[in-house]
Amino acid sequence: MIRRIFYSVPLLTLSMASFAAPQLSQYTAIRVQKANELALKEQFQPAIQVLDSIESSREYDTAYVERMLGVFYWQAGNAKQAISHLSQAVNSHQLEDEAGWATERMLADLLMTHQEYQQAIPHYRQLTKNVPQGKKVDEVWMRLAQAHYQLEQWPEVLSTLTQYQKYQPINKVPTLSLKLGAEMALERWKAAIPTLEALISLEPDKFSWWRQLVGLQLQTKQYGKALDTLALAKLKKFPLKDSDLRLLAQLYAQRGIPERAAMVLGELPDANSDIKLITQQAVYWQQAKEWDSAIESWQLAAKHDSKYQWNLAELLLQQGQYQSAIAALEQVKDADKQRQVLLAKARAHYKLDNLDKALVEAKQAHNIKHSEESENWIKFLTNLRKTQQGVDS
């Protein structure tokens, strides 16, 4: 959505000296002076009536009166009439130099204020030419960029800001925001990154800039920088959403820091109730070789769903906790895993020196499906038991 921009309109200064301009007839000058005196007392309607009563065949007089009518109508709060009279003054091409430039500037600003952006653009373009000494043309380029922005004319926004940059650096939030909006709309992701970085330096407490920067860094596959940005945002205690924390965990894991990934997931409100989060934490802890934490996570997962008893049992076996592993294996209900479960139990019993139980488990596994693995276990355990029996006898 395009953000509307509101503008202040500079009041044209109608000095007493301007009434005596050599181009203005004495007849018109007297009435203009009277109208100005009324306007200074904020009697705008009487001042307008005085100007409306002027009848002159001189083009300059007419243009001058139209300009004053535009100013007074604006002061009286009638923008529509102000725009109409100022347009007539500008289109007459009778007002020159500073007076003409200031009149066209007021007309352009009024059009902008009332969202007549397309009509304002040619006036701002004209204002950038033959600028009177002492007038700030950078403001005109800025307004022109804003008009193009409102019309979603993105290339024109950037080209106009390039002209603006000849007079002023683009180092303030309004100009940087315009630049960023155009770059994002044109999908110039790499160009938008330094723009966002500049905005963050100006408004470091605005989290939306940080979130956008992370998005652009991901878009340009700068995953390490995205991690650094999001981690710093977390360090600054910005209110990260659950999606931000999930992304941060993913980035930590991608960089090869699974323990940090697990810790970040653990901060989520449903870290101990969402089975996907629980199992992901378990995987991260296991990758980090934090065995105790991994076991705790698999135990919690198994409480939610018995299918994770197998993952728990595997890790318990690996860590030499054979009795606990057997208990976990007893809870595995998956029929497709029964042969693997029996072989795992055979291994656990063997480690606990329960050769008879181990052999029974191995034979049951072999009965389910003959395999080289189960056959080897049976041969190994049978020979070992014979050896032990021979020693005992």
DSSP characters over 271-337: TTT-HHHHHHHHHHHHHTT-HHHHHHHHHHHHHH-GGGHHHHHHHHHHTT-HHHHHHHHHT---GGG
Query: Which segment of 6-15, 30-39, 118-127, 345-354 scores lowest on mean pLDDT?
Result: 6-15
Cα atoms found within 13 Å of the Cα of residue 218, Cβ hemisphere only: 15
**Can you tell me the distance from the alpha carbon of 300 to that of 229, in angstroms, rounded to the nearest whole number?**
32
**Closest alpha carbon to 103 in 120, 90, 92:** 90
Architecture of the domain whose range is 1-135: Alpha Horseshoe (1.25)
What per-residue confidence (pLDDT) applies to 22?
A: 52
Mean of pLDDT values over 304-333: 95
Share of the chain above pLDDT 90, in %: 81
* Statement: residue 221 has pLDDT above 70: yes
Number of H helices, E strands in the chain: 22, 0
Read off the tokens for 112.
Answer: 């902008």
Give the per-residue pLDDT at 17: 37
**pLDDT over threshold 80, residue 4:** no
Eight-state DSSP code of residue 4? P
What confidence score (pLDDT) does residue 387 get? 82
The pLDDT value given to residue 135: 86
Residue with tokens 């024109």: 156
- DSSP letters, 72-135, are HHHHTT-HHHHHHHHHHHHHTT---HHHHHHHHHHHHHHHHHTT-HHHHHHHHHHHTSSPPTT-
Specify whether the backbone of 153 is left (phi greater than 0), alpha (psi in -120 to 50) or beta.
beta
For the chain, the maximum distance between any two Cα atoms, rounded to a whole number of angstroms, is 141
- Round the average pLDDT of the chain to a whole number and report it: 91
118 to 108, 144, 146, 305: CA distances (angstroms) = 10, 10, 11, 63
Q: What mean pLDDT comes out for the span 246-254?
A: 97
- pLDDT over threshold 50, residue 80: yes
Instruction: Name, in order, each residue with C-beta under 8 angstroms of 97's C-beta and a sequence gap of 6 or more.
Output: 132
Model confidence at 69, pLDDT cuts 50, 70, 90, reads very high
Q: What is the pLDDT of residue 392?
A: 55
Q: Tell me how crowded residue 344 is: count the other CB atoms within 10 A of its CB.
A: 24
If you average pLDDT over residues 72-76, what whole number do you get? 92
| pTM, 2 dp | 0.80
Structure confidence at residue 24 (pLDDT): 84
Q: Are 63 and 25 in contact (CB under 8 A)?
A: no
Phi, psi dihedral angles at 57 (to 5 degrees): -90, -5
Contact 141, 175 (CB under 8 A): no
In the chain, CATH 1.25.40.10 sits at 1-135, 305-393
**pLDDT greater than 60 at residue 7:** no
pLDDT digit string (tens) for 107-140? 999 999 999 999 999 999 999 998 888 888 999 9
Specify whether the backbone of 334 is left (phi greater than 0), alpha (psi in -120 to 50) or beta.
Answer: beta
Q: For 356-368, give the DSSP string.
A: HHHHHHHHHHHHH
**Separation CA 302–CA 160 (nearest Å):** 62
Q: Is the pLDDT of residue 284 over 80?
A: yes
pLDDT classification of 231: cutoffs 50, 70, 90 = very high
Report d(CA 121, CA 162) in Å as an integer.
16
Q: Is the pLDDT of residue 262 over 80?
A: yes
What pLDDT score does 237 carry?
94
Given this model, what pLDDT does residue 134 score? 83
CATH of 305-393, one of 3.40.50.620, 1.25.40.10, 2.60.40.10, 1.10.3720.10: 1.25.40.10
**What is the mean predicted confidence (pLDDT) over 304-315?**
95
Q: Is the dihedral of CA 47, 52, 54, 56 positive or negative?
A: positive
Which tokens belong to 288? 């980090």
pLDDT given for residue 20 in this prediction: 40
Backbone angles phi, psi at 55, to 5 degrees: -120, 115
Sequence-distant (6+) residues with CB within 8 A of 59 are 92, 94
**pLDDT score, position 96:** 83
Cβ neighbours of 351 (radius 10 Å): 15
Q: Which two tokens stand for residue 115?
A: 């969202």
pLDDT at 2 over 50: no
**Distance separating alpha carbons of residues 253 and 249, to the nearest angstrom:** 6
- Give which of 45, 49, 51 is closest to 14, Cα–Cα: 51
**Tens of pLDDT along 82-95?**
999 999 999 999 98
